[in-house]
Amino acid sequence: MRRRPGIGGLQTAAAARDQYRLLGENVAKLRTDLMKEQLATFRSQLEEFARKHKNDIRKNPSFRSQFHEMCAKVGVDPLASNKGFWAELLGIGDFYYELGVQIVEICLATRPLNGGLIDLQELCKLLRQKRKHDREAVSEDDCLRAISKLKTLGSGFEVILAGKKKLVRSVPTELKKDHNEILELAYSTGYVTVDEVERRLTWTHGRAIDALDTLLDEGLAMIDDGHADGKHRYWFPCVSSISSFGADN
Amino acid sequence: MQKLGEFKLPHFFNYPPYFTLQPVREAREKQVQLWKELILDYCRTQKIFVIGLEEEFPLFSNSVIERTLSHEAREAFLSALVSEGHAEWLDKGHRKCLILWHRIQDWAEIILNFVKDNGFEHSVMTVEEIRSGIESRGTEMELLSTACSLEIKLPWKRKEKCT
């Protein structure tokens, strides 16, 4: 459009902008409509799929995991609510709800022993023992999903990483980076000494003692002064597979 | 699971820090509870009545993990048993401890019931007679020992039903 000087020119420019905007909105609407339609198709196909493979989804953990991924791609969350299509058809909401409750029970039972931090594999093992008589097998992926649901309830549940290992935290205590590093160090033997922490993490004596004492106070570490070499050892129950002792499962 | 003879030891017995008295309150409480249960269980199944703190009691050390309970720890756990009526110190120096798998008041009940069930209400019996009598076969009366019975006589006297 040819630019015109003066007020007329301004009015034309304004009109032009309006028209472009309208056109833009239309295009956007068209795109959105198209997307919505595609998504609707996706959803109905997904629902069809779910109907057909309901049993596989219930019984097979890896199939179930892939199903979740598919749903996530289309923005569908089968666990979003306990009502509605997904919950009714698959009863999947119930499955994860039940899992969540069992996970909470295990974490509470082992909390006096490990301070509220438990190795994910250990948790899964205890979960499977607890569910010995249930038909449905449970994978680590299932545990993680159930825990992420618990997290949205604001119950202080979270999965944290200590090196390559995943730990499930069931207490509101925040683990600082220093604590994480000590846990990682403890993984091979189950314990650390002050010397070790100073040496391998190149920390000052004060920093090491500080971190270890905090871990002791939080109930995540236990002290051992019975070794012949006289050095204090700090043991981390969450890192060993001894959460099962003493607990009433 | 490790065993002491026929007795199955709990997992915590093989975890070194449990042999050190824990400084943090919550951990200490859990530790004391676990040790109390272990000591009672062991004494009950092995029919042990007295523990000498300075003697070689099998539960006080674990050679597999090379740990031994300090004197302080031993006293702490046994004192906890004493506070809940499951043990009694036999001397002021806390060197010997009498373990009561049933508390004294429970023993009195048990003996009373035994006497009633067997119609001994109006007879006079010595502890030895109760312990080794035919009626006692297979009952807890067999487990009465002289040391124990000396303690039980005290609440016994207070009960009016028997002479």
The ipTM of this complex is 0.72
A231 and B CB contact within 8 Å: no
pLDDT score at B35: 96
Q: Which of B90, B60, B67, B72 is nearest to B28 (CA)?
A: B72
Name the A residues in 158-217 with CB < 8 Å from any B CB.
191, 216-217
pLDDT of amino acid A231: 92
- With a CB cutoff of 8 Å and minimum separation 6, the contacts of A192 are A182, A185, A186, A212, A233, A234, A236
In chain B, which residues have their Cβ closer than 8 Å to the Cβ of A246?
10-12, 30, 34
Residues of B with Cβ-Cβ distance to A186 under 8 angstroms: none
Q: What is the pLDDT of residue A6?
A: 79
Q: Determine the CATH number of domain A84-171.
A: 1.10.10.10
- What whole-number distance in Å separates Cα of residue A166 and Cα of residue A156? 16
Q: Could you give the strand order of the β-sheet that contains A222-224, starting from the edge strand earlier in sequence?
A: A191-193, A233-235, A222-224
> What is the per-residue pLDDT for B3?
73
- Burial profile A160-189: b = 16 or more Cβ within 10 angstroms, e = fewer: bebeeebbbbbbebebeebbbbbbbbbbee
At A164 the pLDDT is: 83
A222 touches chain B (CB under 8 A): yes
Summarised one tens digit per residue, pLDDT across range A36-45 is 888 778 777 7
**CATH 1.10.10.570 domain locations along chain B:** 3-99
Is pLDDT larger for residue B64 or for residue A52?
Answer: B64
Q: What is the pLDDT of residue B144?
A: 57
pLDDT of residue A108: 86
pLDDT of A3 above 70: no
Task: Fold for B3-99, please state it.
Answer: Arc Repressor Mutant, subunit A (1.10.10)
Confidence (pLDDT) at A12: 81
pLDDT tens-digit series, residues A58-82 = 778 888 888 888 777 767 776 665 5
Q: Taking residues B143-147, report their average pLDDT.
A: 53
Query: Is there a contact between B20 and A242 if contact means CB atoms under 8 Å apart?
Result: no
B17 touches chain A (CB under 8 A): yes
Query: Which chain A residues contact residue B17 at CB under 8 A?
Result: 222-224, 233, 235
* B20–A235 CB contact, under 8 Å: no
Question: Which range has highest mean pLDDT (A81-95, A102-116, B57-71)?
Answer: B57-71
Out of 1.10.287.3510, 3.40.50.1970, 3.30.1780.10, 1.10.10.10, which CATH number does the structure's domain A177-248 have?
1.10.10.10
Query: Above 70 in pLDDT, residue A201?
Result: yes
Choosing among B11, B34, B68, B69, which should be mutated to test the A contact, i.e. which has the most A CBs within 10 A? B11
Lowest mean pLDDT among B84-88, B140-144, B146-150: B146-150
Q: What is the pLDDT of residue A85?
A: 60
> So what's the pLDDT on residue A32?
83
Residue B30 confidence (pLDDT): 92
Q: DSSP secondary structure string, chain B?
A: --EETTEEPPGGGGSGGGGS--SSHHHHHHHHHHHHHHHHHHHHHHT--EEETTS--GGGEETTTTEE--HHHHHHHHHHHHHTTSEEESSTTS-EEEE-SS-HHHHHHHHHHHHHHTT-TTS---HHHHHHSGGGTTSGGGG--HHHHHHHHHHHHH-SS--
Q: How far is CA A32 from CA A38, A39, A42, A55, A56, in A?
A: 10, 10, 15, 35, 34
Q: What local confidence, expressed as pLDDT, does residue A192 receive?
A: 94
Q: Does B139 touch chain A (CB under 8 A)?
A: no
Q: Taking CB atoms and an 8 Å cutoff, what residues of chain B touch A226?
A: 16, 19-20, 66-68
By mean pLDDT, which of A12-16, A117-121, A210-214, A234-238 is the weakest?
Answer: A12-16
Could you tell me the pLDDT band of residue A120, with boundaries at 50, 70 and 90?
very high
- For residues B118-133, average pLDDT: 66
Query: What pLDDT is stored for residue B69 in this prediction?
Result: 94
Closest residue in A to B12 (Cα–Cα) = A245
Tell which wins on pLDDT, B151 or A136: A136
Residue B161 reports pLDDT greater than 60: no
| pLDDT at B162 exceeding the cut of 60 | no
